[in-house]
């Protein structure tokens, strides 16, 4: 198992029927902020139902998180509140392929996390879901002022002969 800022190992044989709650401590929030290059992480809270079908474990629930990140344009910090449903599958590590084999992925395969042995890390899966939820190019409330001060134009608002040519191409 890999080192995680939010370790919550679950033994497959001891999966309970009640939902699992993963709540990051202040130290874990700080570690997650460092991992994802955020100014801070205030909250990571997930409630997840685990359903075992042989060696495959399905996880469904919700992720609630709050963090502070820098605006991609102004550099100013701004808060982000995030809530999303999560749906993951934990599957045993595959051993039936060779490194040079071509692998076809389906939509369901994209949210599969492999595990070895008899334990998987639910906390690391939550941490990865958080990482995927963060928009690295998010803009905060002062983004328009930063655009104006740095003379950055938004798409569709450019001037000049090349902008006119491009607009004509887009119109067809």
pLDDT of the residue at 172 = 65
Identify the residue with better confidence: 146 or 114: 114
Q: Is 172 exposed, middle or buried (0-12, 13-18, 19+ CB in 10 A)?
A: exposed
pLDDT of the residue at 15 = 95
Identify the residue with better confidence: 9 or 167: 9
Identify the residue with better confidence: 12 or 108: 12
pTM of the model: 0.80
pLDDT of the residue at 62 = 98
pLDDT of the residue at 97 = 67
77 within 8 A of 140, measured Cβ to Cβ? yes
Of 41, 66, 68, 65, which is closest to residue 141 (Cα–Cα)? Answer: 68
- Average pLDDT of the chain to the nearest whole number: 87
Answer yes or no: is pLDDT of 125 > 90: yes
pLDDT of the residue at 40 = 98
What residue segments make up the domains of the chain, in order of their start?
Answer: 9-141, 142-172
Q: What's the pLDDT tens digit per position in 54-96?
A: 999 999 999 999 999 998 888 899 999 999 999 999 999 977 7
Answer yes or no: is pLDDT of 136 > 70: yes
Mean pLDDT of 21-32: 98
50/86 Cα distance (integer angstroms): 12
Answer yes or no: is pLDDT of 138 > 80: yes
92/115 Cα distance (integer angstroms): 5
């Amino acid at each position: 198992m890999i080192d995680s800022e939010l370790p919550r190992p679950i033994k497959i044989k001891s999966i309970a029927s009640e939902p699992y709650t993963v709540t990051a401590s202040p130290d874990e929030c700080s570690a997650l902020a460092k991992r994802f290059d955020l100014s801070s992480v205030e909250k990571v809270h997930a409630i997840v139902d685990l359903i075992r079908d042989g060696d495959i474990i399905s996880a469904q629930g919700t992720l609630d998180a709050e963090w502070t990140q820098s605006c991609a344009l102004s550099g100013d910090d701004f808060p982000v509140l995030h809530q999303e449903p999560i749906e993951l599958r934990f599957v045993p590590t595959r051993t039936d392929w060779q490194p040079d084999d071509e692998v076809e992925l389906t939509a369901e395969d994209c949210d599969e996390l492999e595990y070895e042995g008899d334990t998987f890390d639910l906390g690391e899966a939550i941490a990865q879901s958080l990482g995927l939820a963060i928009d690295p190019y998010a803009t905060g409330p002062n983004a328009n002022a930063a655009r104006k001060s740095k003379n950055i134009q938004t798409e569709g608002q450019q001037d000049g002969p090349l902008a006119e040519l491009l607009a004509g191409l887009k119109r067809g």
